[in-house]
């Protein structure tokens, strides 16, 4: 079993045949297999087991314990249909050491007849305690004759199922693919020159091992995804994804883009008019963006920085450069609330400089929207702020040169790509500036965002005082209400974030309304306002404006205020049912306070009893205010999938690899990618096809 890395072995084509070339696979089965991503025989090898079972030895019935998954053998003593609440088939077996009941809720008459007294059965299933001793519910079983039937020699793989493809059938098909691969080795698209990490098996060996692990294999190591065979595949999968992103970036960088020279010096004038100076980190990020904007190829830059580090001004300065060069820039925000806030900020900044800023969002009045769109299409407005409504069909920009996406973790890769296509004009792609507060470690970011250049703002504006976070049980709500009175009396403002009772908007809104009503009854001297996602835009706007202007002192809100909202005079935040929220969300929410020079407090109310994980999360958020640190702890608590979000990176659906667990492979993934790009470009499309499939997102690969 030697992998071939050079010229294609002719026999390898056997594996490239459609699955229908296998005996007994017709069109119907092929279609169902398609749902597992299988169309060619080789694809079967990449349907990897979810877990394994040890059926290599038979356990005596007398030694079974509840909770154990085991293979057993015994002779049927009795089979009967009984009614215990519902109709069921019970079959009692014995092996001399003990007895076991098999319980079936779904069964046929033929099945019943097959389980006659005296029949020998081999069963596999989970042992549990039943009403009359140990039992297995719906075990896998087969009849065995008087002679000893050989046991499995390897661990039994359990595959992900898709409707209409039974486990046994899939196992057999993978077995056939494995036999084919013994005759004609699978092509290994990673040439020796690309340097596989030391100690990893060949591709063929890795696959053979994972589909048929030997009896002595370490199940714990396999379950943790740390076996060298898994790492071999993880390396290849990460490489495939990384390469496809790099190829995409490379393709993009061959396109021409406008050079934004800012003849009008608008960016300089914008910065000079700000009431503060940029921090060093902001200056660095802006300088990097400006270098890209003047280079003549499309910028694709990600600005990463913790909540409150001041990404908006950096974006605005870039927009100023576009406008000052006679082009248009647009800033897209994930919520209307944030879009409106950005619009007001930009309007206030740019109005004195003679620039009009337009707002486009889904819920604004038809008339206002139509006139904004007309002005954008005519090129009368050079800076437009909005939600994704900005990129719906039918919206035309006259001279769009820069697309800024704020809080991009809320958008998908797809949306981002669509948006650049929209801006394509005269064969030129707009520049992209993407802003995110989701902190991920650098090597990880370089792989996950390989299609982007990355700037990091790792410094907060001066004069911020750290937020004091306290965790308090709900019973002490009254104390918390007193704190609001104190804050308001001191001329400060507060947020009250309502619980996530349900996924339904309706119920959230209702809860927010009730909370607002009860708080305003409890706080007679305090002006209470309310915002939630279902409010008409004008009402939401009015509430936010009133809060910003200090006319509302306590703002009761749903998590709509999670991203971006900026009111520096707000120094107290109360979050109800904090135990239900994830760390990233709590960190984002808390980032709404601590934006001024005054000390801020965040009160996390929880409902007892706390589950251990919830307790740990609250402890982390109380102890740390550093987004990177919180992200790291979050990863340790629950794994990377959720934190990174599956939508925001190009590495949406990893099958074997895990960005965090396999992070140590990343430097070598990056090196190998360079080798393939330089010397084996023809292998890249094949790798992408194997691991990513013909996903349209990767259309430009290869």
CB of 629 to ligand ADP, least distance (A): 17
Evaluate whether 663 touches 444 at the Cβ level (below 8 Å).
yes
Q: Tell me if 335 contacts ligand ADP by CB under 6 A.
A: no
Task: List, as own/partner pairs, every contact residues 638-646 make where C-beta atoms lie below 8 angstroms and the sequence separation is at least 24, other chains included.
Answer: 638/613, 642/582, 643/438, 643/440, 643/583, 643/584, 644/438, 644/440, 644/448, 645/409, 645/438
- In what helix (H) or strand (E) does residue 556 lie, and over which residues does it extend? strand 554-557
Interaction residues for ligand ADP, span 419-448 (CB under 6 A): 437
- Of the candidate spans 202-210, 311-319, 425-433, 619-627, the one that interacts with ligand ADP by CB under 6 A turns out to be 311-319
Choose which of 305, 324, 334, 650 interacts with ligand ADP (CB under 6 A). 305
Q: Does 461 bind ligand ADP (CB under 6 A)?
A: yes
**Site track 570-599 with ligand ADP (rule: CB under 6 A), x = hit:** -------------------------x----
Looking at beta carbons only, is 245 or 278 nearer to ligand ADP? Answer: 278
**CA 384 – CA 372 distance, rounded (Å):** 9
User: Which does residue 412 touch among ligand ADP, Mg ion, none (CB within 5 to 8 A, set by kind)?
Assistant: none
601 and 573 Cβ atoms separated by less than 8 Å: yes
Least distance to ligand ADP from the beta carbon of 577, Å?
Answer: 24
Residue of the chain from 60, 98, 379, 568 that contacts ligand ADP (CB under 6 A): 568
Closest distance of CB 140 from ligand ADP, Å = 54
Q: Which does 382 bind (CB under 5 to 8 A by kind): Mg ion, ligand ADP, none?
A: none
Closest residue to bound Mg ion by CB: 564
Question: Looking at residue 165, what DSSP letter applies?
Answer: B
Give 150's contacts (C-beta < 8 A, 6+ positions apart): none
At 417 the three-state DSSP class reads helix
Q: Which is nearer to ligand ADP, 225 or 596 (CB)?
A: 596
DSSP state of 317: H
Which of ligand ADP, Mg ion, none interacts with 308 (beta carbon under 5 to 8 A by kind)?
Answer: ligand ADP
**278 vs 498, which CB is nearer to ligand ADP?**
278
CB under 8 A, 24+ apart: contacts of 218-227: 219/52, 219/54, 219/155, 222/51, 222/52, 223/51, 224/661, 225/656, 225/658, 225/661, 225/662, 226/661
Give residue 208's region: left, alpha or beta (phi > 0; psi -120 to 50): alpha
Interacting residues of 496 by C-beta distance below 8 A, sequence separation 6+: 484, 515, 519, 554, 555, 556, 557, 573, 574, 576
Minimal distance, residue 462 CB to ligand ADP, in Å:
7
Query: Minimum CB separation from Mg ion for residue 619, in Å?
Result: 27
Q: Report d(CA 303, CA 455) in Å as an integer.
A: 5
| CB 311, min distance to Mg ion, A | 5
3-state secondary structure 157-172: EECCCECCECHHHHHH
Judged by CB under 6 A, the residue of 19, 41, 90, 307 near ligand ADP is: 307
Residue ranges in 633-662 that form contacts with ligand ADP under rule CB under 6 A: none
Please identify, among the stretches 276-284, 317-325, 660-668, 676-684, the one whose residues bind ligand ADP according to the rule CB under 6 A.
276-284
Neighbours of 208 (CB within 10 A): 19
| Inter-helix orientation angle 612-623/627-638, to 10° | 170
The span from the first CA to the last CA of the chain, in angstroms, equals: 28
304 forms beta bridges with 436, 456
DSSP-based three-state secondary structure for 432: strand
Smallest distance, Å, CB 276 to ligand ADP? 4
Query: Do residues 605 and 578 make contact, with C-beta atoms less than 8 angstroms apart?
Result: yes
Q: Which of 55, 122, 212, 311 binds ligand ADP (CB under 6 A)?
A: 311
Applying CB under 6 A, the span of 273-281, 323-331, 622-630, 670-678 interacting with ligand ADP comes to 273-281
Q: In what order do the strands lie in the sheet with 400-405?
A: 357-360, 383-386, 328-332, 400-405, 431-436, 300-305, 453-457
Q: Which of residues 11, 149, 276, 466 is near ligand ADP by CB under 6 A?
A: 276
The single residue among 3, 49, 201, 308 that binds ligand ADP, judged by CB under 6 A, is 308
Minimum CB distance to ligand ADP smaller for 362 or for 568: 568
Pick the closer one to Mg ion by CB: 166 or 275: 275
Smallest separation, CB 346 to ligand ADP (Å): 11
Closer residue to ligand ADP, CB minimum distance, 519 or 584: 584
Rule CB under 6 A: choose which of 217, 245, 266, 313 binds ligand ADP.
Answer: 313
Does residue 550 bind ligand ADP (CB under 6 A)? no
Which of 79, 202, 282, 585 touches ligand ADP (CB under 6 A)?
Answer: 282
310 binds ligand ADP (CB under 6 A): yes
Structure tokens at 89: 């088939």
Task: Mark the segment that binds ligand ADP (CB under 6 A) among 107-115, 310-318, 394-402, 445-453.
Answer: 310-318
Q: Which does 310 bind (CB under 5 to 8 A by kind): ligand ADP, Mg ion, none?
A: ligand ADP
Shorter beta-carbon distance to Mg ion: residue 564 or 594: 564
CB of 364 to ligand ADP, least distance (A): 22
Give the residues lining the site for Mg ion (CB under 5 A): 564
- Least CB distance to ligand ADP at residue 274 (A): 8
**Whose CA is closest to 531, among 514, 564, 553, 509?**
509
Looking at the Cβ atoms of 33 and 307, the one nearer to ligand ADP is 307
* Other Cβ atoms closer than 10 A to 55: 19
CA separation, residue 546 to residues 333, 337, 543 (Å): 21, 13, 5
Question: Is 312 a residue that touches ligand ADP (CB under 6 A)?
Answer: yes
Tokens encoding 482: 């007193």
Q: Report, in Å, the least distance between residue 639 CB and ligand ADP.
A: 26
d(CA 450, CA 670): 10
The answer to whether 246 touches 669, Cβ cutoff 8 Å, is no
- The reply to whether 455 sits near ligand ADP by the rule CB under 6 A is no
Q: For residue 503, what are the β-bridge partners? A: none
Could you say which of ligand ADP, Mg ion, none residue 42 binds, taking C-beta under 5 to 8 angstroms by partner kind?
Answer: none
Tokens of 522: 């409890």
Going by C-alpha positions, the residue among 680, 688, 689, 674 that lies closest to residue 7 is 680
The listed partner (ligand ADP, Mg ion, none) that binds 276, CB under 5 to 8 Å by sort, is ligand ADP
Asked if 278 is part of the footprint of ligand ADP (rule: CB under 6 A), the reply reads: yes
CA atoms of 407 and 312, how far apart (whole Å): 10
When asked if residue 130 is in the footprint of ligand ADP (CB under 6 A), the reply is no
The Cα 346–Cα 355 span in angstroms is 10
Residues of the shown chain interacting with ligand ADP in the complex, contacts defined by CB under 6 A: 276, 278-279, 282, 305, 307-313, 437, 461, 564, 566, 568, 595
């Amino acid at each position: 079993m030697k992998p071939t890395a050079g010229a294609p072995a002719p026999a390898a084509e056997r594996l490239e045949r459609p699955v229908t070339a296998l005996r007994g696979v017709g069109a119907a089965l092929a279609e169902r297999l398609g749902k597992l991503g299988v169309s060619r025989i080789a694809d079967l090898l990449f349907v990897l087991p979810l877990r394994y079972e040890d059926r290599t030895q038979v356990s005596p019935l007398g030694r079974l314990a509840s909770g154990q998954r085991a293979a057993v053998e015994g002779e049927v003593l009795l089979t009967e249909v009984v009614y215990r609440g519902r109709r069921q088939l019970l079959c009692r077996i014995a092996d001399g050491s003990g007895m076991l009941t098999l319980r079936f809720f779904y069964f046929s008459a033929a099945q019943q007849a097959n389980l006659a007294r005296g029949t020998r059965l081999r069963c596999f299933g989970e042992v549990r305690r039943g009403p009359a001793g140990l039992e297995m519910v719906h075990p896998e079983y087969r009849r065995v004759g008087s002679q000893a039937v050989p046991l499995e020699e390897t661990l039994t793989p359990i595959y992900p199922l898709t409707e209409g493809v039974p486990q046994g059938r899939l196992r057999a098909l993978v077995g056939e693919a494995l036999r084919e691969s013994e005759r004609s080795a699978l092509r290994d698209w990673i040439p020796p020159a690309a340097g596989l990490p030391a100690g990893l098996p060949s591709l063929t060996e890795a696959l053979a091992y994972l589909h048929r692990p030997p009896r002595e294999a370490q199940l714990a190591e396999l379950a943790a995804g740390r076996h060298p065979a898994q790492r071999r595949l993880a390396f290849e999968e990460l490489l495939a994804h990384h390469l496809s992103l790099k190829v995409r970036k490379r393709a993009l960088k061959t396109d021409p883009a406008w050079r934004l020279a800012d003849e009008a010096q608008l960016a300089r004038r914008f910065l000079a008019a700000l009431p503060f100076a940029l921090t060093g980190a902001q200056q660095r990020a802006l300088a990097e963006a400006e270098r890209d904007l003047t280079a003549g190829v499309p910028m694709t830059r990600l600005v990463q920085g913790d909540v409150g580090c001041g990404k908006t001004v950096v974006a605005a300065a870039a927009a100023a450069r576009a406008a000052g060069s006679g082009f248009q820039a647009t800033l897209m925000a994930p919520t209307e609330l944030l879009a409106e806030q950005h619009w007001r900020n930009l309007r206030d900044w740019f109005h004195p400089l003679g620039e009009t800023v337009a707002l486009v969002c889904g819920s604004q009045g038809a008339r206002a929207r139509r006139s904004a769109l007309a002005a954008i299409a005519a090129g009368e407005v050079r800076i437009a702020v909005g939600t994704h409504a900005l990129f719906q069909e039918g919206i035309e920009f006259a001279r769009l040169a820069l697309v800024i996406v704020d809080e991009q973790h809320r958008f998908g890769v797809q949306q981002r790509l669509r948006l650049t296509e929209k801006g394509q004009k005269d064969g030129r792609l707009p520049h992209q500036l993407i802003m995110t507060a989701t902190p991920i470690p650098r090597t990880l970011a370089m792989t996950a965002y390989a299609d982007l250049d990355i700037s990091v703002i790792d410094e907060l504006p001066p004069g911020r005082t750290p937020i004091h976070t306290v965790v308090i049980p709900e019973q002490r709500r009254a104390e918390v209400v007193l704190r609001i009175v104190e804050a308001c009396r001191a001329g400060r403002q507060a947020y009250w974030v309502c619980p996530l009772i349900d996924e339904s908007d309706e119920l959230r809104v209702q809860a927010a309304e009730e909370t607002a009503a009860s708080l305003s009854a409890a706080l007679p001297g305090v002006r209470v306002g309310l915002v939630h996602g279902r409010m008409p835009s004008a009402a939401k706007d009015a509430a936010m404006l009133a809060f910003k202007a200090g006319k509302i002192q306590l703002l009761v809100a749903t998590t709509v205020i999670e991203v971006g909202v900026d009111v520096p005079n707000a120094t107290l935040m109360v979050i109800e049912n904090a135990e239900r929220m994830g760390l990233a969300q709590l960190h984002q929410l808390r980032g709404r306070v601590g934006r001024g020079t005054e000390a801020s407090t965040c009160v996390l109310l929880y409902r007892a009893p706390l589950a251990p994980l919830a307790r740990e999360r609250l402890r982390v958020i109380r102890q740390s205010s550093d987004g990177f640190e919180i992200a790291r702890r979050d990863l340790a608590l629950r794994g990377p999938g959720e934190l990174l979000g599956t939508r925001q990176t190009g590495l949406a659906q990893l099958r074997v690899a895990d960005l965090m667990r396999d992070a140590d492979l990343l430097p070598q993934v990056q090196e190998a990618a360079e080798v393939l790009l330089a010397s084996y470009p023809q292998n890249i499309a094949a790798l992408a096809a194997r691991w990513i499939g013909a996903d349209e997102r990767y259309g430009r690969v290869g």
